Amino acid sequence: MSKINNMSIDWNKKYLKNKIYLDKKIKIDISTKIFPNNFIIGSTKIGINCIFLPNNFLQNCTIKNNVTIHNSVLSDCEVGVGCKIGVFSHLRDGVKLGKNCKIGNFCEIKNSTLGDGCKMSHLAYVGDSEIGKNCNIGCGVVFANYDGTKKQKIIVGDNVFIGSNSILIAPLNIADGTYICAGSVVTENTNVNDFVIGRVKAVHKANKAIGRYCPTDHQNQKSQNECIVS
| Per-residue model confidence as pLDDT tens digits over 152-164 | 999 999 999 999 9
- Check whether domain 1-122 has CATH 2.60.40.10, yes or no: no
Active site residue: 70, 90, 122, 218, which one? 122
Q: Which residues of 3-41 are buried (b: 16+ CB within 10 A; e: fewer)?
A: ebeeeeeeeeeebeeeebebbeebbbeeebebeebbebb
The percent of residues in the chain predicted with pLDDT above 70, rounded, is 86
Q: What pTM did the predictor assign?
A: 0.85
- Check whether domain 126-204 has CATH 2.160.10.10, yes or no: yes
pLDDT tens, residue by residue, 192-227: 999 999 988 889 999 888 888 777 655 555 554 555
CA distances 138 to 125, 143, 188, Å, are 10, 12, 19
Instruction: Check pLDDT > 80 for residue 16.
Output: no
The mean-pLDDT minimum among 27-36, 114-123, 155-164 falls in 27-36
Q: Is 122 one of the annotated active-site residues of the chain?
A: yes
The mean-pLDDT minimum among 26-35, 112-121, 164-173 falls in 26-35
Q: Enumerate the domain spans of the chain.
A: 1-122, 126-204
